[in-house]
Structure formats: C-alpha cells, structure tokens
A = this chain, B = another copy of it.
Amino acid sequence: MSSGDDDQLVRFADMLSAMGTEPRLRIIRRLLAAHPNGMVVGEIGADLDIAPSTLSHHLEKLRNEGLATVRREGAFLRYAANHDALQELLAFLYAECCTRNKVVKPETVTCC
C-alpha cells in the first residue's frame, strides 16, 4: 500500500507537471472554458497561437497524463478536458492541504 501511495503521488506529480507550463495551462483553461464540447486542434492552435507540431506535443502530454481526452470527428480531432482526472487531482490537493489541518473536509469537494 505504501508503494501504491507512491504510485499515486508520482502520478499526481506528473499531472501537476503537465499543467505546470504556460502554454499547457492555457490549453487546459481553454478546454475547460469550452467544456463539455471540447475543441478541435486547429481551433485551439488558432486561438492560442501555437504552432501545430508544438501544440501536438502539448496535447500528447495532456493526453498521456490523463488530463485531456480525444475523439476523432472526421478529419478533425476533438480534445476535451478530463473531468475525472482533474477532480482526482483537486481532491488529492485538498486532502493533503486541508484534511491534515482540519480546516475543510475533502467531502465538501464535489466538483467538476
């Protein structure tokens, strides 16, 4: 169980790292704003002015860390923010940050 906790911690660290870059945080924010419809890659790129290959790498990272999901829509790929992953991450942060201080119970965090 200790190693399970470790795995979780590493996973959350990876998620935080994936969000910890200006372009990617901007992408996530944009996807959240467009939720639940999501956005097509070209639309994101045009909106945030990111070169296609660069954008592709960023989206790949977000996908890999489970922060975004894709589905093909004909010639387009539509990306959406992943709900569940974000909720897990926020719940983790709240648990670590709040439960131990007994300020707010994580149960009140029913979000996303």
**A contact set with B: CB distance below 8 Å:** 9-10, 12-22, 24-26, 28-29, 32-33, 35-36, 86, 90, 93-94, 96-98, 100-101, 103-104, 108-112
CB contacts (< 8 Å) of A90 on chain B: these are 90, 93-94, 97
CB-based contact A22/B32 at 8 Å: no
Q: Which residue of B lies closest to A65 (CB)?
A: B20
Q: Which of B19, B86, B100 contacts A32 (CB 8 A)?
A: B100
CB contacts (< 8 Å) of A86 on chain B: these are 93, 97
Q: Mostly helix, strand, loop or mixed at chain A's interface?
A: helix
Q: Which of B16, B21, B22, B32 contacts A25 (CB 8 A)?
A: B16
